[in-house]
Amino acid sequence: MNQSQDYESAIEICPGANWVGRRVEGALLNCNPYLLTLERGDKTPLHVLIDPGSPQDFKLTATKLIQLIGDLKNLSIITLNHQDPDIILTAPTLVSRFAPNALLLMTENTWRLVAHTGIPREKVKFVEQFHGTLRFKGTNRELKLVPTPFCHFTGAFGIYDVTNRILFSGDLFGGVTLDSEMFPLYAEERNWQGIRMFHELYFPCNSALKYAIEQIERLAPPVEIIAPQHGSIIKGDMLKEFMNRMARLRVGADLLSDRMDKLTWDAWNTVANEILVQVEHILGPGNAIYRIADDEELMDMARFEGNRIIIEKLPKLFIEGMVLTLTEKEVLRVANQIKVSAILACEAHGLPAPSIDLSSETTGTSDEFYPLAPIIDE
Ligand SMILES: [Fe+2]
Ligand SMILES: [Fe+2]
């Protein structure tokens, strides 16, 4: 439990934006609804409820909203990032009973599915009709509507409050809570594992993530806070770091090749460790391990247990990346010996040959002598 944060009250994350969610100890997936308030001088402010969340959390979320805005009738807009139950299940009750003055904002693709809840069509505004920007009478505040298709539904979109530089990103950048302790409201390095796992499970492919990150990077002024629908809010040093990692994360269908039997999986691990032992012999103890452990992309796919590599995903790609990392600074002769050893090890274990270019030049400049290990059995 994070003792420093009171999750029973609304928490202001920037001027006019409050987290109104609930944290359940031990729950894998916690939802983050947000209230965004746009002041309008003498007129009543506009209150925007972003991704209202689960019915399981509604009592506490409603209590927090009432503390902030007096009455749920004062909600002006409720946004739905996509049609998943953890976002929309409270929406029918809200618009029919507690917040009759609120309009729902979503994309047409999302509405086609949300329509089955019985919400009347006249309660709905489509994102598409605003051509990328929501403007409000009586205020100079602008909300950019950021397309994030397939992150993780085709009709998903982010909401960017230009004034506060905060992006409400829906499930994108959401994370599951793996720690037995509650996660902090603001992301730390340890949150990445839960974010990675959530995206591997629920997002379709890397190209969708890459496209969404490109849209986010284009926003002006640049984003300072990302507020997702699950897990922790991302800002400060973590923001650029997690965006970079997200842009190269392989998820969903990218990982179909990982669905293999245990024997095959074990064979890939054996190959990785055989290569490691051979290269350690050539380069000297610790050198190969150091280079692999220092490569963030490789460490996205594997971990070390002592001196042993345990591949966690994309084993063929890992072997290819491992060989590249181990050979890129070596002279051609040594590099090719390592490459040949990797290809032969895969063949010996009945695995598909990794895509390794034997003819390429390496960046090594000296041809100093390396004590040759018995890389190839003759
Ligand atoms: Fe979702
Ligand atoms: Fe969600």
Contacts of 291 (CB under 8 A, 6+ apart): 325, 326
Which letter does DSSP use for residue 87 in this model?
A: H
CA 314, 281, 294: angle at the middle one, nearest 5? 45
In the sheet with 234-235, reading across from the earlier edge strand, the strands are: 133-135, 142-147, 157-161, 166-170, 225-228, 234-235
Instruction: Compute, in angstroms, the gap from residue 80 CA to the centroid of ligand 2.
Output: 10
Global pTM value = 0.86
Cα-to-centroid distance, 307 and ligand 2 (Å):
38
Ligand 2: centre distance to CA 335 (Å) = 46
Q: What is the pLDDT of residue 26?
A: 84
Q: Could you tell me the distance, in angstroms and rounded to a whole number, from the CA of residue 47 to the centre of ligand 2?
A: 22
Across the chain, mean pLDDT equals 91
- Terminal-residue alpha carbon distance, the chain: 59
The pLDDT of residue 360: 58
Report which bound ligand comes closest to the CA of 202.
1
Distance CA 178, CA 360 (A): 43
327 versus 1: the higher-pLDDT residue is 327
Is the per-residue pLDDT at 366 higher than 60? Answer: no
Provide the pLDDT for residue 224.
98
Residues 177-204 have a mean pLDDT of: 89
DSSP string, 298-323: HHTTEEEETTEEEE-S-HHHHHHHHH
Is the pLDDT assigned to residue 183 strictly greater than 90?
no
Q: What is the mean pLDDT of residues 194-211?
A: 97
**What six digits make up the tokens of 40?**
């309008």
Domains defined along the chain, listed by start? 11-255 (3.60.15.10), 260-348 (no CATH)
CA 227 / ligand 1 centre spacing (Å): 15
Which residues make Cβ contacts (< 8 Å) with residue 162, sequence separation at least 6? 141, 142, 143, 144, 221
pLDDT at residue number 373: 42
Distance 137 CA to ligand 2 centre (A): 31
Mean pLDDT of 155-184: 92
- Position with higher pLDDT, 118 vs 354: 118
- Please give the distance, rounded to the nearest whole angstrom, from the Cα atom of residue 173 to the centre of ligand 1: 11
Pairing relationship of beta strands 43-50 and 34-40 according to DSSP bridges:
antiparallel
pLDDT tens profile 48-88 = 999 999 999 999 999 999 999 999 999 999 999 999 999 99
Max mean pLDDT range (115-119, 326-330, 344-348):
115-119
Residue 182 is classified by DSSP as P
Dist CA 140 CA 44 (whole Å)? 15
